[in-house]
Amino acid sequence: MAIRIVRKTIHLEGHCSVEEALPLLEALRKPGAHKVVLTKCQGLHAAILQVLAAARPAALTPPADPALAGLVMPFLDASRQAAPGAAA
């Protein structure tokens, strides 16, 4: 399981496949400020990426892998800035 939820913190680890988009979305739909940790993430499906972009979690820890971070962080940062404070 690449998705691990500890209270309000969602850890995405390893390779996150398309099947995990729904549990992730459900977790992020719960009220409150969420924190998403991508530190141990090694790969993301586009579906996961767009859930993260749409949900705009309150805090986001970038992946440790610089290549992956370079790939997804500009987009995720941009979408969080687009509507600051509008996190679900």
Partner 1 sequence: MTNPLLARFIPEARELLQVSASGLLKLERNPTDETAINEVFRAVHTIKGSSGLFDAVALTRLVHAAEDLLGEVRSDALQIDSSLVDMLLDSLDQVGQWIDELERRSALPTDADGVAHRMAAQLRQRLGAQDQDDVPDDAPADGAPQGADPAPDGDVATLPPGFLARLSAPACLDAFRRACGGQAVHLVRYAPEPGCFFNGTDPLQAIQQVPGALALDIAAAEPWGPLEDLDPYQCNLHFSLLTAAPRPEIEQAMRYELDQIIIAPVRPRDLVRIEGEPSDGPIWDDFREAASAFLAAGRHDDLRKAVGALRSVAGPTLWRRQALDWLEAALSAAQPDPALVAALVAAAGSGRFDPAPAAPAPAAPAPAPAPQPAPQAADPRQELARSVLASQHRALEQAGYDADRLASVGTVVGNVLLSLGRDADRIAIQAAFEAAREARSVAPVLSALSAVLDGAPLHRTEAAPALPDALPPAFEEAAPVAGAKEPEGRIAPKSLKVDQAKIDLLMNLIGELVVSKNALPFLAKRAEETYASREMSREIKEQYAVIDRLAQEMQGAIMQVRMLPVSEIFDRFPRLVRDLARKLGKRIDLALEGEDTAADKTIIEALGDPLLHIVRNSLDHGLESPDERRAAGKSATARILLKAREEADSVVIEVQDNGRGIDPVRIRAAAIAKGVIGQEEADRLSDQEAINLIYRPGFSTAAEISDLSGRGVGMDVVLTTVEKLGGQVSVSSRLGEGTTTRLALPLSMAVTRIMIVEAAGSLYGVPMDMIVETVRVPRERIRMIKKAETFVLRETIIPLLRLSRLLHLPDQPRGEADAAVLVCHVNGRRVGLIIDNFREGMDVILKPLEGVLTGLGGYAGTTLLGDGRVLLVLDLRELL
- Contacts with partner 1 by CB under 8 A lie at 18, 21-22, 24-25, 28-29, 44-47, 49-51, 53-56, 71-72, 74-75, 79, 88
Instruction: Give the residue with the Cβ less far from partner 1, 26 or 39.
Output: 26
**Going by C-beta distance under 8 Å and a sequence separation of 6 or more, which residues neighbour residue 11?**
3, 4, 5, 37, 39, 40
Structure tokens at 61: 């820890």
Instruction: Give the residue with the Cβ less far from partner 1, 9 or 79.
Output: 79
Neighbours of 6 (CB within 10 A): 9
Instruction: Give the residue with the Cβ less far from partner 1, 22 or 33.
Output: 22
